[in-house]
Amino acid sequence: MVFDPNFYPYSSQRRLIFSPRAAVATSQSLAPDVLNIFKNNT
C-alpha cells in the first residue's frame, strides 16, 4: 500500500501516516478487523 501525501489534504493526517509510531499503532488497531474479515470470508 502506497501512501500519497497529496491524497491526504490535512497535515495532521500526513503526520500520522509518516510517523513510524503511528503506523505501528494503526496496523495494530487494524489487525483485528483484518482477521475478522478473513474469518468471515472462510
The separation between CA 11 and the C-alpha centre of its own chain, rounded to angstroms, equals: 16
**Helix, strand, coil proportions of the chain in percent (round to 5)?**
80, 0, 20
Q: How far apart are CA 9 and CA 11, in angstroms?
A: 7
- Tell me the range of 16-20, 22-26, 36-40 where mean pLDDT is highest: 36-40
Q: What is the pTM of this model?
A: 0.28
The separation between CA 38 and the C-alpha centre of its own chain, rounded to angstroms, equals: 17
Dihedral sign for Cα 16, 19, 21, 23, please. Answer: positive
What's the half-sphere exposure (Cβ side, CA atoms, 13 Å) at 11?
0
Q: What is the pLDDT of residues 3-23, one digit of tens each?
A: 565 655 555 555 555 567 766
pLDDT at residue 33 in the model: 77
Query: Is the model more confident about 17 or about 31?
Result: 31
